Amino acid sequence: MHFDFVLGDGFPHPYPEGLSEEEQEEISSNLAVEDLRLKGVDSVEWRFEMTIQFVDRASYDDAKAATGWEAWDEAALILSIRLDGRDGRGAMPAIIVGDKAYCRWMLTA
């Protein structure tokens, strides 16, 4: 069985400083529940860092191209997920992809 790794609630990264309340509300009101979907995920592990393993080379290559994440173990098809604790919610750091900080992630079958 394999999964899709779905990212949503993507805020600008880094978050702009000095925005008015109206500008912040505009950003918040335009967040997508699903903004990026990575297919062919075998597992996600969060131990000392967060990693994601793929079931095949095509899924790994597609995800690497879409996210820019570095290889953690290329032979095992594992990427290191980029995190940023400054742009998260509470104790959960944001997942960084390009110029977005994602505060929502889920696995779907």
Q: Which amino acid, 78?
A: I
Which residues touch 94 (CB under 8 Å, ≥6 apart)?
11, 13, 83, 84, 85, 87, 88, 101, 102, 103
The per-residue pLDDT for range 20-56, each reduced to its tens digit, is 999 999 999 999 889 999 999 999 999 889 999 999 9
**Are the C-beta atoms of residues 2 and 88 closer than 8 Å to each other?**
no
pLDDT for residue 89 = 72
Instruction: State the average pLDDT for the chain.
Output: 94
Global pTM reads 0.90
User: Do 97 and 67 form a contact (C-beta atoms < 8 A)?
Assistant: yes
Per-residue model confidence as pLDDT tens digits over 75-101:
999 999 999 987 777 778 999 999 999
User: What are the residue boundaries of the structural domains of the chain, listed by start?
Assistant: 3-108
